[in-house]
Every structure is written in structure tokens, then in C-alpha cells.
Chain A
């Protein structure tokens, strides 16, 4: 039974999202004795050492063969196993994209596909490992639920929620060790239901993944300049909580923030949601630039992409000055 104590959420934050996934994985056989976890040579990276030690017959390493891993997962899922499959977010979305669309999309294979190290977190490994576009790819495939937890506490919650959810899920894990904490204890997490974290009447910020914490920090900085921001954790990008999006219509400016390309991710999803409306605030889409990054460490790349709280606050403020 997972205890969402302060000490635990702090420990999970220090572990980072993969480690938090590994913690949640230990609970999965309690939820469903039919669990199987597959990985493409990333058991250690996925935080699955303890799972491997305790449930060796439930962990399947498919080696560096993501396409096969997806197909094997689909075969197992059809036979009634509760299947998680882990690999880097880049490979989950691009390398085995056909298998994702045919098995998870078209055949609704009940696979929970975990995309590790999404966004810039392994930026030191370069463009091949930085996933700019994984949400955009997954979003365009029908029938796949996409969840981006805001922090490590939410990662544990989301893993358990994904296990209980009926249908294919793409679970996008981002950030590094010492991942900033948004949720210090237990909280209500429902796939498809956004969480309002902060109220403010001037600007509405919808953020996802690691950018939720950054958005909260940016909102604090903007408050010092007497600009009041609401912040919404849109952890489920598909299906988007459209009601929560429409609650932002009264703001003078709507901002979306994601550690993902500005093309086709959360920003795209929100603008599609509002596209048909005559009256809506202008939308500022903040995220990673539509270009490949040169290898560098995580903090450097966040700064290069304008995604630190200070930079976000400044981009938002500048935009607000133009539209208010």
C-alpha cells in the first residue's frame, strides 16, 4: 500500500520520475496479479531493480528492440495480461510508431506505454534522445490516452491510475532527479480531469509535466508585479479536459506551457479545443522551439528554450502587456 507521506514524496522527488515509476511498479502486482512489465533494455533506467528482484517472472527484457517490444506487449495484452512497456519517449513514439498505431491505436491493445526521459532531461545525449514531438505523434493516433504527470508524486499516482484505466495509455515521464515537487502529499488524481492549483483573474496558465511547477513559480514572480495568474495542471492531454480549458475564457491571456515542441502538443490541443469559439483570449504557446537542440545538460537546455520560471514569467508578462 503506497503511503503519500511528505517523506515519501520527498524521496520520490529525489529519485526522479523513473525511480518514482519503479516505486509505483512494486504496487502493480497487488492491483492485478496478471501484471507484466516489458522494457527495451531499460529496466535499470526505469527504476525496476526492486521489481526485478521481487517479481522476476513478471519482468520481460526485450533488449534494444522497441518494435518487437510493442508487438509482444500487444500479444500479451490480448491474452489478458496487464502490460506496461518502457523505453525512452523518443523511441516509444518514433521508433515503434507503426506498432503503436496498429496495436494500441487501431486494435486498442491495452498497453500502458511509458515514455521515459521525455523532453530535455537527457539532453546531454543529444537530439536522438531529446523528445520534442512525442506528444504530437501520440495525439494524432486515435484511442490513446496521454498522461504527463507534473511531478514524482503524480507519477506514482498516474502509474496506478493507468493500471486501473481500461485502454491504451501513453505515460510521459519527464524531469530529472530532484524533480521539483508540486504535490507534497496525497491528492485526488483522475485521468482526464485537470487540477486547478492556483487562482488568478488576469492570466490563465495551462501547463503539463515538469512545466506545472515552473508555471507555479512564474505565477509567483508575476504576482510580485501585480499580475494575477491561475495555474491549471493539465496532466491528461488526451482526452483533454475541455471543460477546464473553457473555464479560462474569462482571462485576458491564456498561456500553455510544456516541455515539448510548441507544435502539436498541449498548445495545439488547447487551441484546437477553442478554435471554434468567437470569443476567447489570445493564446501564448510556450514550449520547446521547433528545432533540434545541441547536446547540453538539462538546466542549460531549459534556459536555451526559455523554460525557466524567470524566462516564462518574462514571456508571459511581455505578451500580457500587448493584449491587456
Chain B
């Protein structure tokens, strides 16, 4: 097993159980977290050895995760099932490696455990297994199902009069091939689920190559809008733009009070590793030591001069 390198940091704190006041995004800190998530993802991929990992799709969603877990999501590691928490559902379950990395930074998972990724008898599988007390709300892996889970969760919150918690569902763009996504999308608008946010990791690729030639999903923003969602198109690697989109209230200006929000995040599959970016093979592949060394060096080279990346468990949000 490979050693995971811990990093040091100080973290902002929020009062227990309180809704954080809107504040400016600490963009540099989010970018640093993103870099750390990429490093963890690479380490897990190497640790998986010949089993390999879905590194490409895990890397395209890193900024989305860093903004969610450092900035937007409401959660409390000491009270993981708190009613007031936001619910995050990873519908594109194969993005598990970077998801686990984010959960580690958030404090749900121990850094040492990341080294057990894909090991036999591990709790960190290639697709997430439901473990709500550790931040994994549902199992996933069979694509196209997470948004329905999100609709049901959002409906239940609405029934209970919980107008504080939000439900965030992260989907892949290839995943939008699945008809069940559109069933869920239709129903979310029908039920006016303003507490539901779908984030589409629009990296333009799927297993067999670019989405266009495989199964062209066309203009996703128009599609989601036509299903009754408020849609924001953003650069999925720009933490400030992601913050603006994710933190935006569906009742804000230019939005419909009773509509769910879809964020089309334009990303690059394999982002941050030169030989993975847009490479078909990196839907799922294995790393050699040499490739790993090169990829890690690229992360260090991309580091800003300050600040340090967050330490695992240090970036908690109430």
C-alpha cells in the first residue's frame, strides 16, 4: 500500500448547527484543496495497482467537490445524520476516488483509509457503498439513478417542512444518456423542488470516447431548461464561478421560485494530469510508478505560492 502524504493547514470554523452567513469564497483555499484531492486521487489510483481506477471522471469533478465540501455544503462530521445537513448524492458513482478524497478533507474519512481503496474487505470500493454516517448517503454505480434518489430526498424534506437543507446530485454528461435521468428531471420540476440542485460534470467524454460521436446529448443546458429547470452554465474548474452557481438561491433574481437548479459544469476529463486530459483510455486505467511520479510533479508545479492545502478533517462545515 502506498503512503498517503498528509498536508497541514488551518481551517475556517463555523458555529455548530448554524447556517453559515454568506461570505466571500476563499478561492485560493479551494484551489489548494482541489490540488490535494487530485493528489489523493492519484495516490488511490496507484494503490489500486492492476485494478486501476476511473481517474479521468474523478479528476474532472475535483473543483466541484472542493467548492461543495469547503464552501457550500452544510454538514457536521460529529453529527453526520443531522436533519439540517445538506445531502450530497454522487450519481456518477465511478467518480468515487475524488469523492473519498473530499470526504477525507471534510473529516468523514481517515487519510490512512484512502490507501485501502479497492482492497478486498475495504469500505472504499470502486463505486461508493451507502454509509451515511461517513458522508455517503447512497450507494451508486448503476448510472442514471441518483437524481431520482435526490427527488425523493428533496420531496421528503419538503413534506417535513425542512426548508433549510438542500440536495445536491452530481451526474455525468454521459450518464444523461439514461432515460431515468429525464424521468427524474421531469418530476423535479413537476414538484417544484427548489431545494434540489443537479450538477452535470460535462467533460464531454464517456467510456467509448467523446460523447458527441458515441451518443450526442446535444445542448444540455437547453434540454434541462426545457424540462423546467433553472440552468447555469459554468466553467467547472473555476472555483469562483462554481461558488456563484452552487451558492445561488433558486429564488434569486432571474430564477423561478419553485424550480430546481441545474448547473452544467464544463470540465475536462482527467483535468490536472497532462496525459489523462481528454484521453479515451483514462475513463478507467492503471498508473505505473513513472506515470504517477509525473502526475504528482504536475500537481506540485501547479501549486500557488500560498496557502497550503487543507489538512484532512480540518475543513469541516456545520
- Tell me which residues from 78 to 103 in chain A have a Cβ below 8 Å from any Cβ of chain B: 78-81, 98-99, 102-103
Residues of B contacting A107 with CB < 8 Å?
A: 130, 138-139
Given A67-B183, A68-B184, A79-B160, CB of A102 within 8 Å of CB of B148: no
B152 touching A73 by the CB < 8 A rule? yes
Tell me the count of chain A residues lying within 8 A, CB to CB, of chain B: 26
Given A65-B187, A102-B145, A107-B138, CB of A72 within 8 Å of CB of B180: no
Q: How far is the CB of B3 from chain A (nearest CB, A)?
A: 33
- Tell me which residues from 20 to 61 in chain A have a Cβ below 8 Å from any Cβ of chain B: 36, 57, 60
Q: Does A76 contact B (CB under 8 A)?
A: yes
Q: Does B309 contact A (CB under 8 A)?
A: no
A99 touching B148 by the CB < 8 A rule? yes
Residue of B nearest to A73 (CB): B152
Q: How far is the CB of A129 from chain B (nearest CB, A)?
A: 20
Residues of A contacting B183 with CB < 8 Å?
A: 62-63, 65, 67-68
Residues of B contacting A72 with CB < 8 Å?
A: 148-149, 151-152, 155, 184, 187
B130 touching A71 by the CB < 8 A rule? no
- Tell me which residues from 153 to 205 in chain B have a Cβ below 8 Å from any Cβ of chain A: 153-157, 159-160, 179-180, 183-184, 186-187, 190-191
Q: Does A70 contact B (CB under 8 A)?
A: yes
26 A-B pairs in the complex with CB atoms less than 8 angstroms apart: A60-B155, A62-B183, A65-B180, A65-B183, A67-B144, A67-B148, A67-B179, A68-B148, A71-B148, A71-B149, A71-B151, A72-B152, A74-B138, A74-B152, A75-B148, A75-B150, A75-B151, A75-B155, A75-B156, A76-B153, A76-B155, A78-B152, A79-B152, A79-B157, A99-B180, A107-B138
Q: How far is the CA of A99 from the CA of B191 in the complex (A)?
A: 21
Q: Does A106 contact B (CB under 8 A)?
A: yes
Q: How far is the CB of B93 from chain A (nearest CB, A)?
A: 10
B148 touching A106 by the CB < 8 A rule? no
Residues of A contacting B144 with CB < 8 Å?
A: 67
Residue of A nearest to B151 (CB): A72
Q: How far is the CA of A91 from the CA of B136 in the complex (A)?
A: 29
- Tell me which residues from 27 to 77 in chain B have a Cβ below 8 Å from any Cβ of chain A: none
B156 touching A71 by the CB < 8 A rule? no
Q: How far is the CA of A243 from the CA of B145 in the complex (A)?
A: 39
Q: Does B222 contact A (CB under 8 A)?
A: no
Q: How far is the CA of A316 from the CA of B144 in the complex (A)?
A: 48
Residues of A contacting B142 with CB < 8 Å?
A: 98, 102
Residues of B contacting A70 with CB < 8 Å?
A: 148
Instruction: Point out which of A67, A73, A81 has the most chain B C-beta atoms below 10 A from its C-beta.
Output: A67
Q: How far is the CA of A36 from the CA of B155 in the complex (A)?
A: 11
A76 touching B187 by the CB < 8 A rule? no
Q: How far is the CA of A80 from the CA of B152 in the complex (A)?
A: 11
- Tell me which residues from 98 to 121 in chain A have a Cβ below 8 Å from any Cβ of chain B: 98-99, 102-103, 106-107
Q: How far is the CA of A79 from the CA of B130 in the complex (A)?
A: 14
A76 touching B156 by the CB < 8 A rule? yes
A102 touching B151 by the CB < 8 A rule? no
Q: How far is the CB of A124 from chain B (nearest CB, A)?
A: 28
Contact with A along B269-306 (1 / 0, CB 8 A): 00000000000000000000000000000000000000
A74 touching B149 by the CB < 8 A rule? yes
Residues of B contacting A57 with CB < 8 Å?
A: 159
Q: How far is the CA of A81 from the CA of B158 in the complex (A)?
A: 12
A102 touching B139 by the CB < 8 A rule? yes
Residues of B contacting A77 with CB < 8 Å?
A: 152
B184 touching A71 by the CB < 8 A rule? yes
Contact among A60, A62, A78, A98 for B145, CB-based, below 8 A: A98
